[in-house]
Amino acid sequence: MTRVSKLHLKRLLKELKSKRGWGTELISLYIPAGRNLHEVTRYLRFEYSQAANIKDKNTRKNVQAAIKSILQHLKLYRSTPENGLAIFCGAVSYGNVRGEEKIELIAIEPPEPITSFIYRCSSEFYLEPLEAQLEEKEVYAVIVMDRGGAAIAVIKGASYKIVDELNSDVPSKHRAGGQSQRRFERGREEAVKRYYVRLGEHANKMLLPIKELKHIIIAGPGDAKEEFANGDYLNYMLKQKVIGLVDTAYTGETGVREAIYKSRSLLSDARIYKEREAVQEVFERLSKDSRLVAYGIVPVEKALLVRAADRLVVLESLADEVLARCNSCGFFFKPDRSPRCPQCGGSDIAEAKGEEFLEKIEEEAAQTKATLVIVTDKTEWGEQLQKLGGIAAILRYAIE
Ligand SMILES: [Zn+2]
């Protein structure tokens, strides 16, 4: 058993999610790192004896059989793995006859530590703790504003979304005829203040509930952003997260994009930059020396085979495609008219899932010490990568 990657976990969760039991007979067991396995075994034996009280004969039989399988499986471990262990076991029903279901067991060493012990028996598997490991942990917010209006955007993973926009009723600097200058200015100042208060309320409402919010950037043309950031408009918890003020030429969505672009040094670990830069690098290399780039499924597999791939970029949505795999050499490729493998010429071809291909790439990248960036689709750079067949590698040396 080895620790599963996030990609692999995603696939396992999809599979587990679809499984159902007849009754409450599917067991989900989460063992945190460091937990003594003897204790867990004792706990399970107790649950086994308790299960004897279950009235329904089939459910009783299935729950006890599942606990037995888990106890059996735990014998494979001398101690709890580094990140703990999640075990899903039970009589999975495939809609056939009651009593004919078979006990299945899936054990997962998750990519991140399991924090609490959970034992749950239900008609479906309890997956939330593992699903939480796949969620985007780093969220950033950008408020782009001037005295005329503001846009609030949230950056999650590699994409951003504008979650709120508002306009101010601040009059332009030129007073109407007949009004005294001083009165006009006082009125204007008050309108600005009201607008900042309103913007603060909007930002608090949108951003305070985001637990994972890490940093906030306040951007925009002119000095309104300073006034807003320094004043008492944002909730103090949000104020602590403001890590920079960034000048932009625009407001609105254009301003948001500009602010994200200019905040690179402030948000250095954000995925949005890593993905974009990884794709940009491929295109730069291509224009300089195309022999040092492989793109498309088969060329990248060849590069990995001879350990020439150094940096890989793969479009996440490749996982959802239907591919073909050669049973002789293990190469994947896009199915087309040709019934032969483009690598070895073999004709023993089977349909394969894109996610299996991604797992192969992930594994081979790790083995050959190549870096791998998974690129989110429906982004600008994701679309660029799509043009290269959704996968590309920068090579250590040119290959034929
Ligand atoms: Zn082949």
In a domain, 182, yes or no: yes
In a shared domain, residues 107 and 42: yes
Centre of ligand 1 from the C-alpha of residue 298, in Å: 10
In a domain, 237, yes or no: yes
In a shared domain, residues 243 and 200: yes
Closest to 94 (Cα-Cα) out of 86, 85, 103: 103
In a shared domain, residues 146 and 239: yes
Centre of ligand 1 from the C-alpha of residue 384, in Å: 29
In a shared domain, residues 190 and 88: no
Centre of ligand 1 from the C-alpha of residue 310, in Å: 23
In a shared domain, residues 216 and 238: yes
Instruction: Give the H/E segment covering residue 242.
Output: strand 242-247
Pairing of strands 293-295, 242-247: unpaired
- CATH value at residue 346: 3.30.1330.30
Question: Among 134, 154, 185, where does a domain finish?
Answer: 134
Task: Give burial (CB, 10 Å; 0-12/13-18/19+) of 2.
Answer: exposed
In a shared domain, residues 111 and 94: yes
Encoding tokens for residue 322? Answer: 């239907």
Neighbours of 69 (CB within 10 A): 17
Centre of ligand 1 from the C-alpha of residue 304, in Å: 15
Centre of ligand 1 from the C-alpha of residue 333, in Å: 10
Centre of ligand 1 from the C-alpha of residue 361, in Å: 16
Predicted local confidence at residue 321, as pLDDT: 92
Mean pLDDT, consecutive 10-residue stretches, the chain (400 aa), reads 79 92 93 94 97 92 96 95 96 80 93 94 96 85 96 89 93 72 86 96 96 93 94 93 93 94 80 87 95 96 96 92 94 85 92 91 91 87 94 93
Centre of ligand 1 from the C-alpha of residue 296, in Å: 16
In a domain, 280, yes or no: yes
In a domain, 312, yes or no: yes
Centre of ligand 1 from the C-alpha of residue 245, in Å: 55
Question: Among 88, 111, 134, where does a domain finish?
Answer: 134
Question: What are the phi and psi torsion angles at 277 (to 5°)?
Answer: -65, -35
Centre of ligand 1 from the C-alpha of residue 322, in Å: 17
Task: Round to whole Å and give the CA distance between 199 and 251.
Answer: 14
Centre of ligand 1 from the C-alpha of residue 326, in Å: 5
Task: Give burial (CB, 10 Å; 0-12/13-18/19+) of 14.
Answer: exposed
> CA-based Rg of the chain, rounded to a whole angstrom?
28
In a shared domain, residues 244 and 310: no
In a shared domain, residues 229 and 263: yes
The pTM of the full predicted model, rounded to 2 decimals, is 0.65
Task: Give burial (CB, 10 Å; 0-12/13-18/19+) of 236.
Answer: exposed
Centre of ligand 1 from the C-alpha of residue 21, in Å: 40
Burial call 294-325: b when 16+ CB within 10 Å, e when fewer: bbebbbbbbbbbeebbbbbbbbbbbbebebbb
In a shared domain, residues 47 and 165: no
- CATH value at residue 233: 3.30.420.60
In a shared domain, residues 250 and 310: no
In a domain, 400, yes or no: no
Q: Amino acid identity of 342?
A: P
In a shared domain, residues 189 and 201: yes
Centre of ligand 1 from the C-alpha of residue 28, in Å: 40
Residue 293: domain span: 273-395
Question: Among 77, 106, 134, where does a domain finish?
Answer: 134
In a domain, 24, yes or no: yes
In a domain, 1, yes or no: no
Predicted local confidence at residue 177, as pLDDT: 66
In a shared domain, residues 317 and 256: no
Question: How many domains does the chain divide into?
Answer: 3
- CATH value at residue 72: 3.30.960.10
In a domain, 356, yes or no: yes
Centre of ligand 1 from the C-alpha of residue 397, in Å: 24
